[in-house]
Amino acid sequence: MPELVTTRPTRRFAARVSHASAAVVVLGVVATLVGCSGGTEEPAAPPANTDVGKAFTSEDGLAVSVTRRICGISGVGEHKPEFTPVGQYCTVGVNVDNGTGESVDLTQLKVSGFAADTQYFPDYWAGNAADGGMIALEAGESIESTLFFDVPKGQLLESVTLTSPWEGIESFEVSF
């Protein structure tokens, strides 16, 4: 069996490593500061979307609005997460006000979300666990529902497109 030999670094070697490490740290800080500094112009704020909260109303009185987007949710369930995303959930609030004279089947409302040029669809089961989902809405009633989109961690849902069979709101997009 070969004999294990250990050597101890000299003081001169340790001093060189210490100085080299300090130089790397100083260069890293300088590079970070240089990278953070830029022109004197402030970055432009993204334009506010006036469609968040706006009610899109059909010709017969059904009003649909997208009210919010919240990302970073790790699970859905009453006592413990029953449903967990592969990445993270981005939720979108959708309000529907049935001003028509008849019951409306909300399963006809198709919603898709977009993040980084990829299309996502709501997780039916997570939405159902959260608030019962959107199924049917009687005349004169309204519902606030939350749709759950499973998107990769670190991404935000940038927009949603809603498509319906109701005249006047066949398709519309809301950006965040």
- In the block, tokens 């519902």 appear at 143
Question: Which of the pair, 11 or 61, is modelled with greater confidence?
Answer: 61
Tokens representing residue 153 in the block: 């961690």
For residue range 33-88, list pLDDT tens digits in order. Answer: 233 333 333 334 445 556 999 999 999 999 999 999 999 999 998 777 889 999 99
**b/e string for 97-109 if b means 16 or more Cβ within 10 A?**
bbebeeebebeeb
Q: Give the DSSP letter of residue 51.
A: T
Query: Which pLDDT score is estimated for 29?
Result: 31
| Alpha-carbon torsion (76, 56, 170, 135), positive or negative | positive
Average pLDDT over residues 130-135: 86
Residues in the chain: 176
Neighbour count for residue 52 (Cβ, 10 Å): 16
pTM: 0.70
